[in-house]
């Protein structure tokens, strides 16, 4: 079985860290998807880094406006507008043509806290692609040990969509991790498996069971 890996990076860009990620990817001819938080994009130097990522062939998605609202748990009916639409507006021309959106998972956990019915409607009406994941090696907690957990995920499934973070010193392990998986014959791709994208361009293409609050 050919194992596949798609690289995604959340919560950046951060000056002094994202440049390292871009260098490592460029040196290996790899591309990734960067999921950007709207409020972070407004900080000095951040927009230029996202523009650099786009210029180097990477994809850029929306990772909510504030990274603080679980859309499936909030009582605010305007939350999808504030967290999804407002962030997409800030991204403007930096966003990829396909409107990639990744909800905040509160630690990378999948569950009904991710989305509300209203949030799903916002994604469908706005033509978004909902991008989930199946590997969270918790690099923000363990800057040294995360590659071992990531390798375990890659070994147990055919196509891994990994969540890493370009706002953490854990990126110091990225080059070695990538070199090891490449040497092991893992195919690194830029696209996503169908099971991790249950909404594509506003059309529901997979199951949302267990991902939407009642």
Active site amino acids:
10, 165
Tokens of 106: 């509160």
Residue carrying structure tokens 């893992």: 186
- Residue 32 gets the label, from left (phi > 0), alpha (psi -120 to 50) or beta, of beta
For 78, the 3-state DSSP assignment is: coil
State which H helix or E strand residue 50 sits in.
Answer: helix 46-55
CA distances from 202 to 3, 122, 124, 142, 195 (A): 29, 9, 4, 36, 15
For 135, the 3-state DSSP assignment is: strand
């Amino acid at each position: 079985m050919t194992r596949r890996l798609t690289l995604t990076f959340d919560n950046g860009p951060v000056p002094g860290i994202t440049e390292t990620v871009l260098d490592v990817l460029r040196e290996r001819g790899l591309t990734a998807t960067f999921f950007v938080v709207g409020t972070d994009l407004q900080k000095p130097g951040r927009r230029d880094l996202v523009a650099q990522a786009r210029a180097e062939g990477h994809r850029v998605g929306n990772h909510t406006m504030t990274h603080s609202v679980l859309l499936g748990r909030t009582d605010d009916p305007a939350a999808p507008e504030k967290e999804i639409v407002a962030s997409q507006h800030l991204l403007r021309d930096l966003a990829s043509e396909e409107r990639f959106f990744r909800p905040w998972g509160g630690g990378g956990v999948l569950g009904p806290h991710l989305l509300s019915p209203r949030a799903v409607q916002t994604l469908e009406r706005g033509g978004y692609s909902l991008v989930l994941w199946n590997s969270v090696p918790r690099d923000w907690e363990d800057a040294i040990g995360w590659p071992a957990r990531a390798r375990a995920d890659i070994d147990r499934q055919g196509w891994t969509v990994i969540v890493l973070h370009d706002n953490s010193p854990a990126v110091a392990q990225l080059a070695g991790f990538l070199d090891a998986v490449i040497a092991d014959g893992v195919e690194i791709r830029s696209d996503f498996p169908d099971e991790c994208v249950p909404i594509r361009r506003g059309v529901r293409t997979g199951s949302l069971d267990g991902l939407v609050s009642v």
